Amino acid sequence: MFSTPTFDELNIWAALPMMALAFGTCILLVADLFIPKDKKVYTAVLAGIGLGVSLLIALLQASGVEIGDKSTAFEGIFVVDQFTHVVNVISLMAGIIGIMVSYDYLERTGTERGEFYTLILFSTLGAMLMGSSRNLVMIFIALELLSIPLYILSGFRRPMLESEESAMKYFLLGAFSSGFLVYGIALIYGATGSFELVNVWQTAVDILEGEGAGQFTLLIGIAMVLIALGFKVGAVPFHMWQPDVYQGAPTPVTAFMSVTAKTGGFAAMLRVLVTGLAVVSASQGKAIDVWQDSVQVIAVLTLILGNFVAITQTDLKRMLAYSSIAHGGYILIAIAAGGTFGVGDSSAQAALVYLMAYTFTNIGAFAVVIALERNERNTITLNDTKGLAQHSPLLAAAMTIFMLSLTGVPLTAGFIGKFFVFKAALEANLEVLAVIGVLGSVVSAYYYLRIIVNMYMIEGDAHPVADKQPLALRSALWLTAMGTLILGILPYIMTDLARDVTLAIVGR
């Protein structure tokens, strides 16, 4: 009944970054057993090497080196295109920086367990797979691979109650949303008879152009998938978990999660919506609006709630959590733009550029929080940043870069991201959305710049934080700060990577 595919047909080489990381993770899992508890630094280094090797391969692929000869692997479940490569690069960078900011934290809080790194690696792998799946079932599996380690990581600071609580919440709500995803996938399958996005796209055209019962099934299925992925990226109104989890989880986990979960979620969202469901009428040559309106509404809600509630926060981590919600809103603008005929590719490019910029900036911002936490209590309020520039000028300078980038000030990566997102929105004739986005970033300037004001212009009673951070954290700060600046000044590093990204099947 089943014929076993040959190795050649599977075309495993094309998926080399993922395969390498998967093997590396499994080896690490075993190797960790032999590493004594006080030498966990080796595990961290090994994990870093695993990610590094994978990143190297991904970068090679992204810059045009062909590894493996076909564009798909595993019989079409898995796509190897520029989109895959870029998502790989982003996820792996996030993973590496995530590990760099983690090591010292774990050592300091006595939660130095080897599984931490394995889980980070698995989660990274999940994010990568979400970007490379062209099959709904595969997307589900990838989502679970991404999420489950994150649930565990959130509770990693056991026996600290907040940490455990956040893990529990995250897990319950995550399971709930997974239900939506499975249900949605099932409905889509029911309507179109396929899990393959390309087939879904073809059948969906017929269904939506004609009248029929399949129509409701399909539409509700799309809605369900959208909801589940919206939960993953923390879009309003599915965002409720995010502030609690971000605040409760160990800070390095928050840093890692804030980027990786978003990368995976948005990657899958782009694949599903832009490739599979950008339903284009064959006869009229334009898109039938299936999901653009809903994504627009979600984007607007996300932008407004994220930015406004962030203003009222006093806890730095929680403020960053809301800010992170708001940034999801900007990416949603790009995705909404993808619903217009002919804008699919530039919307994907814009979203990827934004994610790249966001990766460096947001992890960097959390890294500053980690650095501050070294001498402070567990919670860092905005008041704790007062006078920071006096005793830790470097840290303050780095934080300034991150805040400016999050605001979207030119010469930082954040500006480039916003530029492309708004450009995509204008291309798609979503002027209102672009205007709301711009207004949102104006509002955001208030709470980002407040931190800069605190650091530089207000005398602080803060306890001195030495500029001298442990090596790994220090390098992570340098890397993210310099990355944020360099990508802002030489944006073509990002745009060159994203330029060849094509997702839309027609209408380029």
By CB under 8 A, which span of 24-32, 106-114, 143-151, 492-500 interacts with another protein? 492-500
Does 216 sit near another protein (CB under 8 A)?
Answer: yes
Residues 479 and 94: beta-carbon distance below 8 Å: no
By CB under 8 A, which span of 76-84, 120-128, 136-144, 292-300 interacts with another protein? 292-300
DSSP 286: S
Does 173 sit near another protein (CB under 8 A)?
Answer: yes
Strands 72-73 and 78-79: antiparallel
Cα 503 from chain centroid (whole Å): 18
Does 45 sit near another protein (CB under 8 A)?
Answer: no
User: What is the nearest approach in angstroms of another protein to the Cβ of residue 389?
Assistant: 24
Among 240, 438, 439, 466, binds another protein (CB under 8 A): 240
By CB under 8 A, which span of 47-55, 67-75, 100-108, 164-172 interacts with another protein? 164-172
Does 215 sit near another protein (CB under 8 A)?
Answer: yes
By CB under 8 A, which span of 84-92, 190-198, 259-267, 290-298 interacts with another protein? 290-298
Does 297 sit near another protein (CB under 8 A)?
Answer: yes
Name 92's Cβ contacts closer than 8 Å, sequence gap at least 6: 17, 21, 51, 54, 55, 58, 124, 128
Spatial distance between the Cα atoms of 351 and 420, rounded to a whole number of angstroms = 8
To which residue do tokens 């009428």 refer?
281
Does 336 sit near another protein (CB under 8 A)?
Answer: no
Which residues on adjacent β-strands are paired with residue 280? 287
User: What is the nearest approach in angstroms of another protein to the Cβ of residue 129?
Assistant: 25
Does 293 sit near another protein (CB under 8 A)?
Answer: yes
Does 422 sit near another protein (CB under 8 A)?
Answer: no
Q: Give the residue among 242, 172, 494 at the shortest CA–CA distance from 350.
A: 494
To which residue do tokens 């030498």 refer?
39
User: What is the nearest approach in angstroms of another protein to the Cβ of residue 399?
Assistant: 26
Name 340's Cβ contacts closer than 8 Å, sequence gap at least 6: 287, 292, 427, 428, 429, 430
Q: Measuring CA to CA, how many Å separate 492 from each of 30, 57, 315, 417, 467?
A: 41, 21, 36, 12, 32
Does 482 sit near another protein (CB under 8 A)?
Answer: no
Name 141's Cβ contacts closer than 8 Å, sequence gap at least 6: 129
By CB under 8 A, which span of 133-141, 211-219, 256-264, 369-377 interacts with another protein? 211-219
Among 98, 114, 243, 408, binds another protein (CB under 8 A): 243
What residues make contact with another protein under the rule CB under 8 A?
168-169, 172-173, 176-177, 180, 215-216, 219-220, 222-224, 226-227, 230-231, 236-238, 240-241, 243-244, 289-291, 293-294, 297-298, 309, 312, 346, 423, 490, 492, 496, 499
